[in-house]
Chains A and B, each alone.
Chain A
Amino acid sequence: MRRELGMLVALLVLCGALWWSNPNFVGQSNVFNTTRQISMLGILSIGSAFVIITGGIDLSVGSMVGLTGVILAKISSNAEGGMGEPLWIGIIVAMAIALLIGLAQGLLITRVNLQPFIVTLGGMLTLRGVSQTIVHGGNVSFSAFRNFANTSIFHINGEPAFPLLLLILVGVAIVSAYLLHFTVFGRYIYAIGGNRDAAEYSGIPVKNVETLTYVISAGLAGVAGICYTSYIQQMDQNVGVAFELSAIAACVLGGCSLRGGEGAVIGVLIGTALMKVIEDGLDMFQLIYHDSRGRAHFWKPDDNWKYIVIGAVILIAVILDQVVHLFQQRRRTRAAGAMAAAPSAFPVVEVAK
């Protein structure tokens, strides 16, 4: 919980600073938009977290967002290039394809024993190529679907205040948190990430559970892709590029270890919010200063800095985490040393290697 708390503090400080520098940051339209962004990345990140907690990695989710979006637009859009089928057909086909691809990747990883990084890298490139082939370098417009992302559950002063997308994220988060933290299946996932061999020797169906995490990851990427289609309404071949890296970064910021066995849904949510607040909030930051003639000027950070900031935040987070970890370990070793040094009838014997 240490990492989650630290990131929550960082998030609150950042929001506070942005609010102080620019009151528009908490303006209703900005909040509405930022929460929609957070919701879509959050759905994606939670899917990635399932894979990361078992010690795997899924690089294909960004391309999966693009592919499900392109398929949905292609099937259901009435605009040029679309097939004009009903929306539900498009959604079912897109989701079915996402789940099947996730299953195929999971089986390649667990049954053919290939490395997750390589399988999902292949998936990332292949799916991107399929999207490109479908849109043929152009784009498919699907503005008829925009209402979904624009829907608000309630309004304040006649303005939208609570996006439907956030409700979907909350639903996904609750179900995922329940699965990960309160069920036997969740225990399997943490045990596999903590020590795959010991899980195997304890009779856990390691391969099936791992395969399922890739299906979940791909499925949630499909959901995120459908949401994103409604959000941008123009599907081209570059939709979703590098989203997988944002999702992984959100998981790591939120306390997942790429070694597996660590992480929680709440942390992933905080990590996602932090990512998006930096990405979308940085250009709202401004400082007012006065020159010698007393005229007011605005200082704004260069928009291009946002990736530098995100990168730095990730590095600082993991460095701090490691420092705390080393400190705790040293304390533990000292305690163990004191125990061994104390006169005892039970000397500690070193494991001979």
Chain B
Amino acid sequence: MSESDFILLQMRGITKRFPGVVALQDVHLSLQAGEVLALMGENGAGKSTLMKILGGAHQPDAGEIFIARKPITLHGIADAKRQGIALIHQELMLAPNLDIAGNIFLGNEKNAGSTCAWLDRSGMRKRADALLKRVGLDLPSSTPVSRLTAGQMQMVEIAKALSQNARIIIMDEPTSSLTLGEARQLFKIIADLRKGGIGVVYISHRMEEVLQVADRITVLRDGKWVGDLSAAEATQEKIVAMMVGRPLSAWFPDRMARIAGEVILEVSELVVPGAGAGVSFDVRKGEIFGFAGLVGSGRTELMEVLFGIHAPLAGAMRLTGQSYSPNGARDAIDRGVYLAPEDRKRNGLVLPMSVAQNISLPNIANYGGRAWTLMRAKEKKVAEQEVSRMRIKTDSVTRKVVNLSGGNQQKVVLGKWLAMQPKVLILDEPTRGIDVGAKAEIYRHMAALAQSGIAIIMVSSDMEEVLGMSDRVAVMHERRIERILPREEATQERIAALMTGALR
């Protein structure tokens, strides 16, 4: 096949640093015309950064990019488009208020044949209809995008890429919002694109899909290139081993000498909004119960149900033996169930307020003195205790939280809960985006808290963290608990296989 020997894209020695962290180090990638290349790796392995560089959104610190063997520099997204690179985001970027044709030519209206300022609607529609036919979408291009299903929108995105004469199409988790039938349709179109000599970079976590659609697989881990596999030699086991194979570091406190106590939280057949089936588990006193899974596997939604933010569709919960069905965060807090949310800047902290004000916030009603006066001296004292207990680096408790580093912000979130009496402490991604030093400190606090008899539920996408901290690990996949593994049985390979659906 001489045509497919034509190398469309080569990225060599790509390195990208962000303040204090190397996101990509000496990464290689090549793509031939008419080839589907799957890019795989755990969350945070550097896939998105690499694709953002290819899409022109980031500039690499080192490395070269060749398109059709010619070296190029991408200064911005427009540059990448001009080179025939189209990126289809996981969250589709369509304007729901415009029709299909309007979306396909959004930002490219002039190409529709009109050089004047007025919109050549009929010209755009005619061209759009032809493109829709090519992607197999049987709808008039005057249909408003708000009426399309997720799958149809995906087709429109592909048509849009084709309208810009894309030679390289990057698809980021394209099937994450598609039904099985829609996904099949997508694979058919990918096969057509491949025949037309277009190179596709396919990012996905779903093993079966990758093995079905890809010609070759490139695996990244911790920002480094691990290796390439051809479709013929690739197996799920091989890919998983390449994705996770790294040693556990020694930051984790020794968690051997503990005995789990009685059950504190009991969850049975709880159906989270958006889930098809219920989940059941129990959490014991003094235990760290980990939740592993991919982003979007329903862990955060489950935690928000436990914390009373959303009501479950069905099922029951019991807290220390009594029925527990929180109606709002206030209820959960009053019962001793606290949540340190995944997105601390959005849900965890009031950034323009001070450290002391944030720490007192969930318990503020108890700071009311005579004539409703806020007891600021008590507030300050409690905050200072938490600052010294959590070792929050701040010159004063009156400093605004927005001025603290990520690690210290997270410690404020923990401090605000520890200033009260938690029974169950839910930590959603407790160390996301914070430095290693603060990470180790947070791990020590978690271990100490568990020791003191608090039940900790930890959601984490960091495999080392899950393995290093959890006494038991529940692995979630598509909003179900695939399996609950005790510490001894939890291995990286097993968890990775369970959470990608490779193992049932």
Contact = CB atoms under 8 A, between A and B. Distances in A.
Interface of A: 182-188, 190-191, 194-195, 197-205, 261-262, 332, 336-337, 339-341, 345-352
**Interface class of chain A by DSSP:** helix
Contacts of B368: 183-184
A201 B329 contact: yes
A202 B437 CA distance: 27
A182 B349 contact: no
6 contacts: A198-B348, A202-B364, A204-B361, A346-B407, A346-B438, A347-B435
Nearest to A198: B350
B416 A352 contact: no
A183 B352 contact: no
B433 interface: yes
Nearest to A346: B437
B346 to A, nearest CB: 6
Q: Which of A204, A261, A339 has the most CB of B within 10 A?
A: A204
Contacts of A194: 350-353
A348 B357 contact: no
A341 B18 CA distance: 11
Interface in B42-97: 43-44, 48
A203 B19 contact: no
Contacts of B374: 182-184, 186-187
Contacts of B362: 202-203
A204 to B, nearest CB: 7
Contacts of A183: 368, 372-374
Given A183-B373, A350-B21, A351-B433, A201 B339 contact: yes
B18 A200 contact: no
A350 B20 CA distance: 8
Given A198-B347, A205-B330, A332 B403 contact: yes
A76 B357 CA distance: 48
A258 to B, nearest CB: 14
Contact of B436 (A182, A202, A346): A346
Contacts of B432: 351-352
B434 interface: yes
Contact of A195 (B18, B19, B307, B351): B351
Given A202-B333, A341-B19, A351-B433, 6 more contacts: A182-B374, A184-B367, A191-B364, A201-B339, A346-B436, A350-B20
Interface of B: 18-21, 23, 43-44, 48, 307, 309, 328-330, 332-334, 339, 341, 346-353, 357, 360-362, 364-365, 367-368, 372-374, 403, 405-407, 416, 432-438
A200 B347 CA distance: 8
A201 B347 contact: yes
Nearest to B368: A184
A352 B44 contact: yes
A191 B361 contact: yes
B337 to A, nearest CB: 11
B437 A348 contact: no
B20 A348 contact: yes
A191 B367 CA distance: 15
B365 A184 contact: yes
Given A184-B374, A332-B403, A349-B406, A198 B349 contact: yes
Given A190-B353, A194-B352, A195-B351, A200 B329 contact: yes
Contacts of B348: 198, 201
Q: Which of A186, A203, A261 has the most CB of B within 10 A?
A: A203
Contacts of A195: 346, 349-352
A350 B433 contact: yes
B324 to A, nearest CB: 15
A207 to B, nearest CB: 10
A187 B435 contact: no
Contacts of B44: 352
Contacts of A336: 405
B361 A199 contact: yes
10 tightest Cβ-Cβ pairs between the two chains A and B: A346-B437, A351-B433, A347-B20, A194-B350, A203-B330, A348-B20, A350-B18, A202-B362, A203-B333, A195-B350
B435 A348 contact: yes
B501 to A, nearest CB: 23
Contacts of B372: 183-185
Contacts of B405: 336, 339, 348
